[in-house]
Amino acid sequence: MELIVNTLLHFLDGMASNAVYAAELRGKALCISASFSLHKNVGRLMAQVTALTRGEEYIYPSHRVYGPTESADTPVCRYSKVLQAIMADHRIKPSISDIKGHSIQLISILDPAIEKLLQGENYFELHQALIRAEKKANEDLAELTKNYGYHYVFRIGLMEYYMVRTIVENINFLRPEYPGDVYRVCAQTCPYDAMEKRLNLNAAEKELIIGVVDCHPDDAHRFWDWLERHHVAYNVMKACIALLNKMQCAQ
């Protein structure tokens, strides 16, 4: 791993200092190199360098773009007391990055225990998937900010949603005796999609899904428990959006 890191950092330093490259490209190379000194994650470094060489976008601006006067006219500001009460009820606690509206970087909430489940190519593919998910997450956050103004629950909720979805698509929760990784990942999307459409599945509904997927009940319930723990902020975000729409229509 050390050889890989040194090679990639040498490549980035060479690109950043080479006037042949466009200033924007050199700036991106410098940004990747500088960010690695903070996150120290080899998988992310590899995924970012790959995105850089392919000309893909992976650096996004801050989402809190409104000044004090402009933000006062946004729905999140007009109904800030209601939203704050919801945050308190559900114990949604923002980080400094959430409050400031920094761009979404999923690496900041990636559980090391989850990451260690993957090796080799699968490890790299997870970080590539996270880079792609960040693009969609930042686009969604920009759209929500445009429609409602910026609120940290949007950032927290979208980070949670895209992290969970990426993990579900790349990591198996079902036992190894099923016929291959691809089958197990596909099979577990069934209980995931069910909970995505209906948060509080009753016991009978869960048993029906377990029968359709033909998996061990313990695996399915462990998977659902994990989903419930990691979908709290996302569900709060959806409730806030529904409430904002309703209150605006009532005006």
pLDDT at 139 over 70: yes
Length of the chain: 251
Q: Could you tell me the sign of the dihedral formed by the alpha carbons of 215, 229, 111, 144, in that order?
A: positive
What DSSP state is assigned to residue 110? -
Please state, rounded to an integer, the average pLDDT across all residues of the chain: 88
Tokens of 29: 């190379």
Letter for the amino acid at 228?
E
| Out of 11-20, 83-92, 177-186, 237-246, least confident range | 177-186
pLDDT by residue (tens digit) across 45-101? 999 999 999 988 777 777 876 555 556 789 999 999 999 999 999 999 999 999 999
Kindly report the backbone phi and psi dihedral angles of residue 94, in degrees, each rounded to the nearest multiple of 5, phi listed first. -80, 150
CA distances from 147 to 113, 196, 203 (A): 36, 23, 38
Helix, strand, coil tally for the chain in percent (to 5): 75, 0, 25
Measured over all CA atoms, what is the biggest interatomic distance in the chain, rounded to whole angstroms?
Answer: 65
183 alpha-carbon distance from chain centroid: 24
| Domain-wise residue ranges, the chain | 1-59, 64-249
Per-residue model confidence (pLDDT) at position 224: 85
Closest by alpha carbon to 48, among 64, 34, 62?
34
Q: Helix or strand or coil: residue 164? A: helix
Per-residue model confidence (pLDDT) at position 1: 78
